[in-house]
């Protein structure tokens, strides 16, 4: 099978909703006759999970892209659309891998997104990319009319009220979106349930257990106006379905039973981070002692070098020309102001003006000598003897200490990261612990992300290109910055 034939068969598979399993078989058959010995076989586990794990192999995925089974193009930044992840069948795996490498290299999330089209800065740490909803059509009127015609022809006098009757339709019939179904083939078979308005406050919700979307009957017909159109509500709930597939951070409900569990989760996270911080502190106790020893020795070395410099200055033939250098080396005195000798030396660093030059020179020489000798008295005798034997140049010694200290800081870095994470989590919990259920619901990363998809349905192409969804915390992007969102991946409802 050549590339063109493979592409045609792929399109046919999607059109007929055969999905990932059939497409994987097609690829397996094609590969069996083309370079079959270059890659490992498809997994025995032929569930969607097993096949997706196989497809996530970067080498395999890139090879399949090259032969037309995947879309290799980088996602266009700023296009309106659903936010997908690496489990999407048409995910730009090469760009996702590149983004992860750039992240590991310390590049910023914004720079990575501009270069690859992949955003790694969400609070749940998952890779995201945006694919266009521009070709999506919301066929509510068409579906309603078709249903009315069928009822009239087959059930005679039966009537159909799309607002007040309970009825269901497959997502593929209600929402014509080839790109979405190419990414997540199973979604096209999902049920969308329209339910009568019995006083409920919600417009729609996604059920992870039923794998279905429910929309309030009177909300489904909202075709014009702001972001809360029937299409907008549907796009919002589809994003929740994508979150379930990708194990992104989830949405929720503004109900006290749910939001209280979220608060407890955040409180538990404070305790968990505190436990980790304490455990690391205990485990790294010897390393902390070593760090303190290194810092102490490095400080002693600096004092030793400064003392020798001042003693050398004291013998300078024209010391008045370097009086600033003399005074610039008295900094260690300020840490010993509880000592009368140190206080007296600090007072002597500001002598009376208008002294004769010879008198000034003698005073400066005496001052440099006395401070140098005072510094010698601050040294540990064993370390002083060690320093005396060290014949390396001061710059070489300084670099050696710097290397050792950097190495030790790296060892201790996990503790400092854990300490900072605990501090931030504690501050965040203090901020949200008294918030009402609706405010907690609004903070959920899954809800904020779904609102982004909903908001951007109304934006012009120019606006979309100028305002990538991940860049702004405003009307075209998230309502909350990542540090102010609540992220969880386990469904609690």
Per-residue pLDDT tens digits for 315-365: 999 998 898 999 899 999 999 999 999 999 999 887 666 667 678 889 999
Q: Are 440 and 262 in contact (CB under 8 A)?
A: yes
Per-residue pLDDT tens digits for 157-199: 678 888 888 999 999 999 999 989 999 999 999 999 999 988 8
Taking CA atoms, 353 is separated from 93, 183, 324, in Å, by: 74, 82, 15
Residue 43 in this model has a pLDDT that exceeds 80: no
Taking CA atoms, 376 is separated from 90, 103, 325, 328, 380, in Å, by: 71, 49, 19, 17, 9
Q: Are 191 and 251 in contact (CB under 8 A)?
A: no
Q: Are 268 and 109 in contact (CB under 8 A)?
A: no
Which DSSP symbol is given to 138? E
Who contacts 53 (Cβ-Cβ below 8 Å, separation ≥6)?
43, 45
For the chain, give the percent of residues with pLDDT over 70: 77
Mean predicted confidence (pLDDT) in 60-74:
42
Report d(CA 275, CA 400) in Å as an integer.
35
Per-residue pLDDT tens digits for 366-375: 999 999 999 9
pTM given for the model: 0.68
**Residue located via tokens 């992104």:** 248
Name the pairing type of β-strands 212-216 and 204-207. Answer: antiparallel
CA end-to-end span of the chain: 47
Name the pairing type of β-strands 191-195 and 212-216. Answer: parallel
Per-residue pLDDT tens digits for 279-322: 999 999 999 999 999 999 999 999 999 999 999 999 999 998 89
Kindly report the CA angle at 198 between 193 and 201, in degrees rounded to 5?
A: 85
Helix (H, G, I), strand (E, B) or coil at 303: helix
Domain boundaries, the chain: 295-392+403-412
pLDDT the model gives residue 109: 86
Please report how the helices 109-116 and 93-104 are oriented relative to each other, as an axis angle in degrees rounded to 10: 150
Report d(CA 390, CA 401) in Å as an integer.
13
């Amino acid at each position: 099978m050549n590339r063109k034939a493979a592409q045609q068969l792929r399109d046919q598979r999607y059109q007929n909703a055969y999905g990932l399993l059939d497409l994987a078989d097609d690829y397996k058959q094609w590969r069996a006759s083309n370079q079959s010995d270059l890659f490992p076989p498809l997994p025995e586990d032929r569930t969607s999970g097993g096949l997706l794990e196989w497809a996530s192999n970067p080498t395999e995925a890139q090879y399949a892209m090259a032969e037309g089974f995947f879309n290799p193009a980088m996602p266009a930044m700023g296009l309106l659309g659903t936010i997908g992840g690496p489990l999407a069948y048409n995910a730009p795996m090469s760009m996702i891998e590149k983004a992860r490498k750039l992240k590991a290299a310390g590049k910023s999330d914004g720079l990575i997104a501009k270069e690859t089209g992949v955003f790694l800065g969400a609070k749940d740490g998952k890779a995201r990319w945006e694919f266009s909803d521009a070709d999506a059509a919301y066929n509510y009127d068409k579906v309603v009319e078709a249903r009315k015609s069928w009822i009239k022809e087959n059930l005679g006098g039966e009537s159909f009220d799309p607002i007040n009757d309970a009825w269901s339709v497959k997502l593929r019939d209600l929402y014509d979106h080839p790109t979405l179904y190419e990414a997540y083939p199973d979604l096209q078979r999902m049920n969308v349930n329209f339910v009568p308005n019995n006083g409920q406050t919600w417009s729609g919700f996604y059920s992870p257990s039923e794998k279905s979307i429910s929309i309030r009957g009177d909300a489904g017909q909202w075709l014009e106006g702001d972001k809360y159109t029937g299409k907008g509500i549907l796009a919002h709930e589809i994003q929740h379905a994508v979150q379930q597939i990708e194990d992104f951070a989830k949405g929720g409900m503004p109900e006290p039973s749910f939001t209280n569990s979220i608060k407890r989760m955040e409180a538990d996270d404070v305790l968990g981070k505190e436990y980790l911080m304490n455990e690391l502190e205990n485990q790294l106790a010897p390393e902390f002692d070593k760090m303190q020893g290194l810092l102490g020795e490095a400080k002693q070395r600096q004092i030793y070098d400064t003392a020798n410099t001042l003693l050398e200055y004291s013998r300078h033939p024209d010391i008045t020309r370097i009086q600033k250098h003399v005074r610039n080396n008295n900094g260690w005195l300020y840490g010993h102001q509880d000592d009368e000798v140190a206080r007296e030396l600090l007072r002597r660093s500001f002598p009376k003006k208008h002294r004769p030059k010879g008198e000034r020179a003698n005073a400066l020489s005496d001052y440099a000598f006395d401070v140098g000798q005072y510094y010698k008295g601050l040294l540990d005798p064993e370390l002083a003897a060690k320093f005396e034997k060290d014949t390396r140049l001061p710059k070489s010694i300084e670099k050696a200490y710097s290397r050792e200290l950097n190495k030790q800081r790296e060892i201790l870095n996990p503790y400092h990261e854990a300490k900072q994470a605990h501090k931030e989590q504690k501050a965040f919990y203090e901020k949200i612990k008294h918030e009402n259920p609706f405010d907690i619901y609004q903070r959920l990363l899954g809800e904020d992300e779904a609102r982004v998809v909903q908001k951007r349905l109304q934006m012009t192409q120019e606006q979309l290109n100028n305002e990538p969804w991940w860049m702004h915390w405003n009307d075209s992007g998230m309502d909350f910055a990542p540090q102010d969102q609540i992220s969880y991946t386990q469904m609690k409802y």
